[in-house]
Amino acid sequence: MHKFQGLTEDTYNFFWEIAFQNNQSFFHANRERFRNSVQLPLLQLASDLAPYALDIDPDFQVRPSSVVSRIRRDTRYSKDKSPFRDHMWLGYKYPSSYTSENFVVYVEFERESFGYGMGMYAPNPAMMQEIRGRILARSDTFLTLVNDRAFSDLFQAEGETFKRPKYTEQREDILPWLNLRRLAFCYSSPELSRTLRPEITDEIIEAFRIMKPVYRFIKGLD
């Protein structure tokens, strides 16, 4: 039986309230509420999902405290100096590495939507060059995987393209993929009521199962 029994209405109420009262005094006054309504449930969900994340990639860091995002923002290099996030996520990636260095498997919860998927947080030229090489070497396999009905019905491919295409001589059906600067596969839904029930865990586990072959192709594991 899963530990995670769903989020609560107060999870999303907290996100809305901290969005409009994004300051130290509000957070300190609501620290225990954050712990009970946001952090602890997500730690439970991360624990439940750990074996299924490892089935995708056995090198993932799955310690819940490392998987669940922090509520405090790193504002050192940002124009936005808001100290706290108004959303949270789970991110499965390699240990001792930055999110920007990884093709991350994620689950996210925002004020008006939730979702899950995998991909790059920001353009990573070296990683994309490796992915292009795998696509070029095994184009038919890649297209079969991303066009599989179960996968394509659930996940939307996302990513910025080059302003001027760098690849023009390859097959037409793979050119759009080769000219991406960043690649992600995402699912998002406004139906927050689904996250209030224990069954959301099984929904995410099934999504992990569906994304596994594409992830493993992208990473060169299969």
* Residue 105 falls inside a structural domain: yes
Do strands 104-109 and 88-92 pair parallel, antiparallel, or not at all (unpaired)?
antiparallel
- The pTM score is 0.94
* Residue 125 falls inside a structural domain: yes
* Residue 86 falls inside a structural domain: yes
Q: What is the spatial distance between Cα 128 and Cα 18, in angstroms, rounded to a whole number?
A: 36
Number of domains in the chain: 1
* Residue 189 falls inside a structural domain: yes
* Residue 3 falls inside a structural domain: no
- pLDDT reported for residue 79: 81
* Residue 2 falls inside a structural domain: no
Which tens digit of pLDDT belongs to each residue from 46-96?
999 999 999 999 999 999 999 999 999 988 877 888 899 999 999 999 998
* Residue 164 falls inside a structural domain: yes
Domain carrying residue 61: 9-218
Tens-of-pLDDT digits for all 222 residues of the chain? 679 999 999 999 999 999 999 999 999 999 999 999 999 999 999 999 999 999 999 999 999 999 999 999 988 877 888 899 999 999 999 998 888 789 999 999 999 999 999 999 888 899 999 999 999 999 999 999 999 999 999 999 999 999 999 999 999 999 999 999 999 999 999 999 999 999 999 999 999 999 999 999 999 999
- pLDDT reported for residue 1: 64
* Residue 65 falls inside a structural domain: yes
Q: What's the CATH number where 136 sits?
A: 3.30.930.20
Record the tokens describing residue 99, joined without a space.
Answer: 């999110």
